[in-house]
Amino acid sequence: MRVLRAVCLWMIVAGVVSGPALAQETSPKSVAFFGVTLINTGVEAITDTERARKAAAEAQIVDMMTASGRFTFVDTASIAEKADLYANLAQCNGCDTTFAKELGADLAMTGEFQKTSNLILSFTLYLRDAQTGALVGGGSADIRGNTDDSWQRGVSYILRNRILK
């Protein structure tokens, strides 16, 4: 009986001591999301429909990550002028993390939709630590078919299986 009491007491103390530490680990991370870049390597021009899909994908990313309770998003408007100097913040040698740091965010997030043709597209999402620049999450999905549903499924796949997992 004494052993059982000792074990229970130890578990209670361990829970009290580790509780605040766990709470810190589960507090939401702030994200500076710089949007998704459309890359066209095909012969057909980017369409207004694809631009609308890009905007919908960006909203989907913010909505799903916010709904998880693990992420909050910071306003990036104050660095927009600097960011506009780069064609693709996902490939700017760390400017995304520099901007995220300026904004006080924990993480920097960028993405790319690459259109090879109306049949072959890919989506990549990068989530980097703002302090170190280390890649801490993200992934890539090949998309077949240039439809609203295929873009939405590609984004959802990366979020569910690579970021929110």
Instruction: Kindly report, residue by residue over 20-30, the tens digit of the pLDDT.
Output: 332 345 799 99
What is the 3-state composition of the chain as percent helix, strand, coil, each rounded to the nearest 5?
A: 50, 25, 25
- Is residue 5 over pLDDT 70? no
CATH topology of domain 28-163: Rossmann fold (3.40.50)
Mean pLDDT across 67-74: 98
Q: What percent of the chain has pLDDT over 90?
A: 84
Query: Model-level pTM greater than 0.75?
Result: yes
Residues across the chain = 165
Pick from 67, 59, 44, 27: which is nearest to 115 by CA?
44
Q: What is the pLDDT of residues 94-114, one digit of tens each?
A: 999 999 999 999 999 999 999
User: What are φ and ψ of residue 146, in 5° steps?
Assistant: -100, 70
Nearest to 34, CA basis, from 1, 69, 74: 74
Note whether 128 and 147 are within 8 A (CB).
no
